[in-house]
Amino acid sequence: MKYRSVFDIIGPVMVGPSSSHTAGAAKIGRMARKLLGKIPEHATVTFYGSFAETYKGHGTDVAIVAGLLDFDESNTQLPQSLEIAEKKGMDVSFIVDKETQVEAPNTARVHLSAENTELELVGVSIGGGKIELTEVNGFSISLTGSNPALLVLHYDKYGAVAEVAGLIAKYELNISYMEVSRQEKGRLALMVIQTDEEINEGLAAEIAGLPNILNVAVLS
Amino acid sequence: MFQTIEELVHIANRQQISISEVMIRTEMETTGRSREEIFSKMAGNLDVMEQAVQRGINEDIKSRSGLSGGDARLLQHYLDSGRSLSGSVLLDAVSKAMATNEVNAAMGIICATPTAGSAGVVPGVLFGLRQKLNPSRKQMVDFLFTAGAFGFVVANNASISGAAGGCQAEVGSATGMAAAAAVELAGGTPEQSAHAMAIALGNMLGLICDPVAGLVEVPCVKRNAIGASSAIVAADMALAGIKSLIPCDEVIEAMYRVGRMMPVALRETALGGLADTKTGRALKKKIFGSDAHASVTEGQ
């Protein structure tokens, strides 16, 4: 089931005007920000499909940048995000791509960099403020949002997966799905973990504190 | 856990509980959260809805584009004049639906029900019925759980996205949800709620999503307004004992299939319908200039 909570239907509480083009976009931006782990210096956002046709009218650009500032979709500063980002020295550019055929109508690609780190993800807004992620740092993933999920960027070292799984067990959460991808042996890797129960921020913070872990994001 | 309206009604009848109670128990089961936590979160959503309605009917709301704002107040003044043709309950609901969507268009805080573009119908109906039915705070929160239960089935079995299924998936779904919840608030049965939703959604099949200039304003605000009035009329019909010959789940399935047949120009791309009229195109040009992708601020 795509939607599992009544608050996916009566909610989210958000800044208007569009749950798919504003709230969903803010969530995509915030997932990217969480996985980068810090405020980006440069951000390039590419809009596809309906995002490309109507992003200006819905404040999709404003919302995605609000997410990059770590604002959630109900933050009253959301409408001022472009000005705030500029003051913080974030360099943002937008690309409107009406040529590339995408499977879902509301798709965005976000590329971020800060100091020596980079992050790229592809997010899809599926309606009512819910999002899916299809790609992180070149890894194809399938995060449909049907279950709560943890994304963990980590170094490809022995024990990293076991330690994360151990903490999840400590919080008495059941893992329903897990995949681990890496670019090359010993370098960066990504764990995608879906659970049956809601994931609280305490668990995410504890995982982030483990050795070999770079950044953690929760998709609820 | 229920996956269809039929199952939802069946669970309510078998356990002798309301639809809202089925939704609360399902939420407790799937999320592991306590009843108090779930109830208080929904009560918080109700507060957000009430604040948006109050802003819309009391403040001078104007969207950045200038395409919407102020109509909810116009209706309230007209209501005060006592000259209304459709009656005060209906028109108050219509005005409060518009209030919510006007605040939404002005980038104010709203609660999506089920989406932001269709956020006016459910609170419009709830606050419009308040004077007539005098519900307790708990009943008002329960109204939202009932609306949510019906919306939950639509979202999972069809769609609540205008880009995927047109306006029938957004305002159509919201109207069905509000009709079903209004029946429960007025003391009707779970079956009557299902009929109200089937009648309301069935009436909106084929409704396209054609926002002028791509903005969630024209015709969205007025579609929510009339959606609220349809919801109350459909609830009254079901409460009178009128049944939908096509069961609610089949109406939802029909809505999904109609959405799949809809050309992309009529699904939120702003390339057809009212968006592609002489005036619609002129408004787009006026707001965004000759370059349709220039920003609103640059265009002004």
pLDDT single digits (tens) B220-276: 999 999 999 999 999 999 999 999 999 999 999 999 999 999 999 999 888 999 999
Question: What pLDDT score does A76 carry?
Answer: 94
**Same domain for A140 and A155?**
no
Check: CB of residue A179 under 8 Å from CB of residue A165.
no
pLDDT per residue as tens digits for the range B85-128: 999 999 999 999 999 999 999 999 999 999 999 999 999 999 99
Question: What pLDDT score does B114 carry?
Answer: 95
Number of residues that this document lists for chain A: 220
**Same domain for A112 and A172?**
no
**Same domain for A49 and A151?**
no
Query: Is B156 buried (19+), middle (13-18) or exposed (0-12) by CB count in 10 A?
Result: buried
Contacts of B293 in chain A (CB under 8 A): 56, 96
Q: Return the beta strands (E) in B103-148 as ranges.
A: 109-111
pLDDT at A117 over 80: yes
State mean pLDDT over A178-195.
Answer: 89
Q: How far is CA A13 from the centre of its chain?
A: 18
| Structural domain range at position A13 | 1-146
Contact between chains at A16 and B106 (C-beta distance less than 8 A): yes
Greater confidence, A143 or A100?
A100
**Same domain for A129 and A179?**
no
**Same domain for A124 and A42?**
yes
Provide the pLDDT confidence category of residue A56 given band limits of 50, 70 and 90.
confident
Q: How far is CA B86 from the centre of its chain?
A: 20
Best B154, B293, B300 member to test A by mutation, with max A CBs in 10 Å, is: B293
Mean pLDDT of the residues in chain B: 94
Contacts of A22 in chain B (CB under 8 A): 116
CA distances from B131 to B70, B89, B134 (A): 23, 8, 5
- Our CA-based measurement puts residue A32 at a distance from the nearest CA of chain B, in whole angstroms, of 23
State mean pLDDT over A162-178.
Answer: 94
Q: What is the CATH number of the domain that holds A76?
A: 3.30.1330.90
**Same domain for A105 and A182?**
no
Check: CB of residue B45 under 8 Å from CB of residue B91.
no
Q: What is the largest CA-CA distance in chain B?
A: 61
**Same domain for A46 and A94?**
yes
Structure tokens at A148: 């709560």
- Structural domain ending residue among the three candidates A97, A118, A146: A146
Question: What pLDDT score does B230 carry?
Answer: 98
Provide the pLDDT confidence category of residue A195 given band limits of 50, 70 and 90.
very high
Report the run of H or E that residue A214 belongs to, with start and end.
Answer: strand A213-219
Of B113, B215, B270, nearest to A10 by CB-CB distance is B113
With an 8 Å Cβ cutoff, is A6 touching chain B? yes
Cα torsion at B230, B250, B113, A220 (round to 10°)? Answer: 180
Strands A130-136 and A13-15: unpaired
The Cα A203–Cα B86 span in angstroms is 55
SS3 B282: helix
Q: What are A188's strand-pairing partners?
A: A155
**Same domain for A21 and A128?**
yes
Angle of helix A60-68 versus helix A49-58 axis, rounded to 10: 90
Residue of B nearest to A146 (CA): B156
pLDDT per residue as tens digits for the range B146-195: 999 999 999 999 999 888 899 999 999 999 999 999 999 999 999 999 99
- Structural domain ending residue among the three candidates A122, A146, A170: A146
**Same domain for A157 and A53?**
no
State mean pLDDT over B71-94.
Answer: 96
The Cα B286–Cα B136 span in angstroms is 47
Strands A91-96 and B109-111: unpaired
The Cα B172–Cα B118 span in angstroms is 9
Check: CB of residue B115 under 8 Å from CB of residue B166.
no
**Same domain for A71 and A39?**
yes
Question: What pLDDT score does B1 carry?
Answer: 87
Q: What is the CATH number of the domain that holds A213?
A: 3.30.70.260
Question: What pLDDT score does B292 carry?
Answer: 46
Question: What pLDDT score does B156 carry?
Answer: 96
Q: What are A180's strand-pairing partners?
A: A191
Greater confidence, A50 or A79?
A79
Check: CB of residue B121 under 8 Å from CB of residue B129.
no
Architecture of domain B5-288: Orthogonal Bundle (1.10)
**Same domain for A46 and A118?**
yes
Provide the pLDDT confidence category of residue B290 given band limits of 50, 70 and 90.
low
SS3 A156: coil
pLDDT at B295 over 80: no
Quote the percentage of chain A above a pLDDT of 70.
100
- Structural domain ending residue among the three candidates A146, A162, A180: A146
- Our CA-based measurement puts residue A28 at a distance from the nearest CA of chain B, in whole angstroms, of 17
Contact between chains at B270 and A79 (C-beta distance less than 8 A): no
Question: What pLDDT score does A200 carry?
Answer: 87
Alpha-helical (H) ranges within chain A are 24-36, 49-58, 60-68, 81-87, 160-170, 201-208
Of A10, A22, A96, nearest to B42 by CB-CB distance is A10
The Cα B254–Cα B267 span in angstroms is 17
Instruction: Count up the domains in chain A and report the number.
Output: 2
**How many CB atoms are located within 10 Å of the residue A2 CB?**
17
Q: Please count the residue pairs, one from chain A and one from chain B, whose beta carbons lie less than 8 angstroms apart.
A: 173
**Same domain for A125 and A187?**
no
Question: What pLDDT score does B293 carry?
Answer: 45
pLDDT at A110 over 70: yes
Contacts of B126 in chain A (CB under 8 A): none
Provide the pLDDT confidence category of residue B300 given band limits of 50, 70 and 90.
very low
Check: CB of residue A3 under 8 Å from CB of residue B30.
no
Structure tokens at B11: 């669970």
